[in-house]
Amino acid sequence: MTQTAASERVTPWDELTVAPHGAGYSLNIVFVYQDATTRKWAREVYDRVAKLAGPETARATWWRMSDLSEPGVLAGAVSTAMRADVLVVAVRTGEGLPLPFYVWVNAWLPHRGPQTGALVALLGIGGQRSPHQERVRDYLQMVARQCKLDFLPEERDLPEEREDSSGVPRRDSTAFDHPVLAAKGVQRVLALRRG
């Protein structure tokens, strides 16, 4: 089954109209990523949004999941998530999510205001399906539903692991070459911020 990225199903990026730069609004985006590969996916999303809305309009904060176990980092990540227009979660789904991620979600979820927005889930899918993959997707969808956020999942292929000469598994880092974003939700958020 061939999957089309949400951005390709909705509208070409070049046709998306946003408010002029300096119109007195900002788009607050929170990025939570797991590792260097998932950060790269998140960066592709940011680059696309910044191109559309303007780099001075797109306000991004970046949080590595493993750092959420630090109290100060957790407090900052909770604060930004409560006010975010767009939450981007970039994860490998094969192993499930780390405990600090659940702590982070449970800390901001009940305090999030009524603002609209989107939860973009960039889900790394390995070659072999596991029950964890569907659980991660279902959990993120439930979080979006509770916050009344548009849920915009996008599956990404994980690079294949191979062994180097020492017998240690290595990931092929060349497997990602397609920048995509769930345009429908971002377009909606931008339209609401303009109006």
pLDDT tens, residue by residue, 167-182: 444 443 333 333 344 4
* Within a domain: 46: yes
Q: Where would I find the beta strands (DSSP E) of 136-187?
A: 150-157, 161-163, 169-171
d(CA 41, CA 3): 17
* Within a domain: 34: yes
Evaluate whether 131 touches 100 at the Cβ level (below 8 Å).
Answer: no
> Into how many domains does the chain fold?
1
Q: What's 64's domain CATH number?
A: 3.40.50.360
Output the six-digit token pair for 110.
């009940």
pLDDT tens, residue by residue, 26-40: 889 999 999 999 999
Evaluate whether 139 touches 170 at the Cβ level (below 8 Å).
Answer: no
* Within a domain: 18: no
* Within a domain: 6: no
* Within a domain: 119: yes
For residue 100, give its domain range: 26-161+173-194
pLDDT tens, residue by residue, 125-143: 877 777 777 899 999 999 9
Q: At what angle do helices 183-194 and 36-53 cross, to 10 degrees?
A: 40
